[in-house]
């Protein structure tokens, strides 16, 4: 009997609800079927985002700053909706159904975008020969476009929150062989989504510019539909794990219980606080944020008097372990806040930098490089940086210091520093581009300036290398620094830094436009970037980046000093289980 049970996964079931059999469920094949969905999501989302600004300016005839804000708001909403997807997966649908439903929504959204860009009635007429009598898209045309874009954002946010988690569900952490396979899965996960992004910014952008956007978006819709079929085909082979409930609800329970008992005094002996967690998974009490400890004070009315022996009402009494889990999440917040500015810098790489590229000489022999495809240097920088870090930096660092590599806080610091250098390079490049525009008289919209687009490479490479460090550092930090029961929540918290970075970019552009513009001058962010001072906007981002970097160093030092060792020793932290 015991030999038979070794083939069962203790905390997972099959599609019928029976204990999962290792020989028939889980492993690399089901995980690969799940990975296909994420690759197609990257293909669609990035293929749309990196080249959308050129469509909004060139076809919909929108101002430069408005187009940039539409793109950043679209991307910000996509990542923000990961919180919704995670909540639904944890509380109601489960990861499998969440992926299937939201992948279908994204497929419908990209199909709708293909139709919106195909029908002449859904876009304004072309500009006249002079290029001055352009008519902006009307409300109905923009409404259809927005509906398609935000359906895509909803689908992206919903499935991204569950894909990586469902992938890790296919491996048993208690089995050393499968645990090693799971680590390998994460290494390949980031590699394959980078491949999806690389295909998006090269092949898909080329098809948009040379064949037609409707064809390219149609391919995205079809590819996601095929990915859904592949995903569903593995239903019988997947392992399904039951959720312990939404971490958002758990956090609210602690806050509500502590608020109700705000006037009560804490005991001198903290061992008197309530904790019913198993000893093996218990987190010991820490001194920080003691106001939350009041949620663990046992008081009259915490239990159901009519049902003797019942568990306490979780909205009135929470265990010390549950309170400490909330404390752990609070400790992440300063680092969370100081990494947002990086993604504001990142947003410029798919908006203004692409617009810069559209004004510059992009010929490579007889081939005309699409403006959106310049982000290939960004993606290539990410992949090359990761390869150099794994194969060169880590071995050298281990030789010199005896440590396996940079800590997650160190990696984030490197990423923030590289983003500042990237903005400094962007300032120099834009000043050069503007001087060429002024000398050549090429201030007319659509004019190609006699300056090579390859001047943009340094800013793409520096910010791309920065993402390689900060993305992996953030992911590692939020997973290893959060309790096991809140790993989906921590992944959502990580993704909100991307979301808020894009939204802050939109806010900053709007503020700069309002402050620097006037009736006679368009300011730093002009409708035509040849009339603006984008170099000053990049310099502002560089200054904000420097200030943020200094604040980050203080927050990192505080976190290192405040991090409770006991929570790490109790085995409540599982590294690398979630990635999005």
| pLDDT tens, the chain, 580 aa long | 444 445 777 778 888 888 888 888 888 888 889 989 988 998 888 888 888 888 998 889 898 888 888 999 999 999 889 888 888 887 788 889 999 999 999 999 999 999 999 998 999 988 866 556 788 899 999 999 999 999 999 999 888 878 877 887 888 877 777 776 776 676 677 777 778 888 888 889 889 888 889 999 999 999 999 999 999 999 999 999 876 667 788 889 999 999 999 899 888 888 888 888 777 678 888 888 889 999 998 888 787 666 655 778 888 898 888 898 899 889 999 999 999 999 999 998 888 888 888 888 888 777 788 887 888 888 889 888 888 888 888 888 888 887 777 888 999 999 999 999 999 999 999 999 999 888 876 555 567 888 888 999 999 999 999 998 998 888 778 877 877 767 667 777 888 899 999 999 999 988 998 888 766 677 888 878 888 889 999 999 999 999 999 999 999 999 887 666 544 334 343 333 333 3
Q: What is the pLDDT of residue 308?
A: 56
CB neighbourhood size of 30 (10 A): 22
Q: Can you read off the two tokens belonging to residue 339?
A: 């990494």
Q: What is the pLDDT of residue 566?
A: 43
Q: What is the pLDDT of residue 131?
A: 57
pTM of the model: 0.81
Pairing of the two strands 449-452 and 363-364:
unpaired
Is the Cβ–Cβ distance between 404 and 398 less than 8 Å?
yes
Instruction: Give the distance between the most distant pair of CA atoms in the chain.
Output: 86
Q: Closest Cα partner for 468 from 197, 77, 169, 86?
A: 197
CA 467 to chain centre: 11
- Give the separation between CA 350 and CA 342, rounded to whole angstroms: 14
| Phi, psi at 245, each rounded to 5° | 110, 165
The continuous run of DSSP H or E covering 334 comes out as helix 320-338
Domains belonging to the chain, first-starting first, are 8-242 (1.20.1250.20), 247-329 (no CATH), 332-580 (1.20.1250.20)
Q: End-to-end CA distance of the chain, in Å?
A: 39
């Amino acid at each position: 009997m015991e030999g038979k049970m070794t083939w069962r996964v203790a905390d997972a079931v099959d599609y019928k609800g029976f204990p999962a059999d290792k020989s028939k469920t889980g492993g690399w094949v089901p995980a690969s079927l799940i990975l296909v969905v994420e690759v197609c999501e990257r293909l669609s989302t990035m293929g749309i985002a990196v080249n959308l600004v050129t469509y909004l300016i060139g076809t919909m005839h929108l101002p430069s700053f408005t187009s940039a804000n539409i793109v950043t708001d679209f991307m910000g909403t996509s990542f923000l909706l990961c919180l919704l997807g995670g909540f639904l997966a944890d509380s109601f649908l489960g990861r499998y159904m969440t992926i299937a439903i939201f992948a279908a929504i994204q497929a419908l959204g990209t199909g709708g975008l293909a139709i919106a860009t195909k029908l002449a009635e859904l876009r304004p007429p072309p500009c006249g020969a002079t290029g001055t009598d352009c008519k902006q898209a009307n409300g109905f045309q923009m409404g259809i476009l927005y509906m398609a874009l935000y359906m895509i954002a909803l689908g992206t946010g919903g499935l991204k929150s569950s894909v990586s988690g469902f992938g890790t569900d296919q491996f048993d952490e208690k089995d050393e062989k499968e645990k090693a396979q799971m680590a390998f899965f994460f290494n390949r996960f980031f590699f394959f989504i980078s491949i999806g992004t690389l295909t998006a910014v090269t092949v898909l952008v080329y098809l948009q510019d040379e064949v037609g956007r409707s064809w390219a978006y149609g391919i995205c819709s079809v590819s996601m539909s095929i990915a859904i079929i592949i995903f569903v085909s593995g239903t019988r082979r997947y392992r399904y794990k039951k959720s312990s409930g939404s971490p958002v609800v758990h956090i609210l329970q602690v806050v509500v219980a502590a608020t109700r008992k705000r006037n009560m005094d804490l005991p001198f002996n903290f061992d008197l606080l309530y904790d019913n967690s198993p000893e093996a998974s218990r987190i010991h009490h820490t001194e920080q944020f003691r106001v939350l400890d009041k949620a663990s004070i046992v008081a009259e009315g915490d239990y159901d008097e009519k049902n003797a022996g019942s568990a306490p009402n979780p909205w009135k009494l929470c265990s010390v372990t549950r309170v400490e889990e909330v404390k752990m999440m609070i400790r992440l917040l300063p680092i969370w806040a100081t990494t947002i500015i990086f993604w504001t810098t990142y947003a410029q790489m798919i908006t203004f930098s692409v617009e810069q590229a559209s004004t510059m000489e992009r010929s490579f022999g007889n081939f005309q490089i699409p403006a959106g495809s310049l982000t290939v240097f960004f993606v290539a920088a990410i992949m090359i940086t990761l390869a150099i870090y794994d194969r060169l930096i880590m071995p050298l660092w281990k030789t010199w210091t005896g440590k396996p590599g940079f800590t997650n806080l160190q990696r984030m610091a490197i990423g923030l520093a590289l983003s500042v250098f990237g903005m400094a390079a962007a300032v120099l490049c834009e000043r050069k581009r503007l001087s060429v525009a002024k000398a050549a008289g090429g201030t007319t919209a659509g004019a190609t300036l006699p300056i090579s687009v390859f001047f943009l490479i340094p800013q793409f490479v520096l910010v791309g290398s920065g993402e390689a460090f900060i993305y992996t550092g953030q992911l590692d930090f939020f997973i290893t620094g959060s309790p096991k029961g809140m790993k989906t929540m921590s992944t959502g918290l990580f993704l909100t830094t991307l979301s808020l970075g894009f939204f802050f970019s939109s806010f900053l552009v709007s503020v700069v436009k309002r402050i620097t513009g006037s009736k006679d001058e368009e300011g730093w962010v002009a409708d035509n970037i040849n009339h603006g001072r984008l170099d000053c906007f990049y310099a502002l981002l560089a200054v904000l980046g420097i200030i943020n970097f200094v604040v980050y160093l203080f927050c990192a030092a505080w976190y290192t000093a405040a991090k409770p060792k006991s929570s790490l020793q109790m085995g409540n932290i599982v590294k690398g289980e979630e990635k999005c």
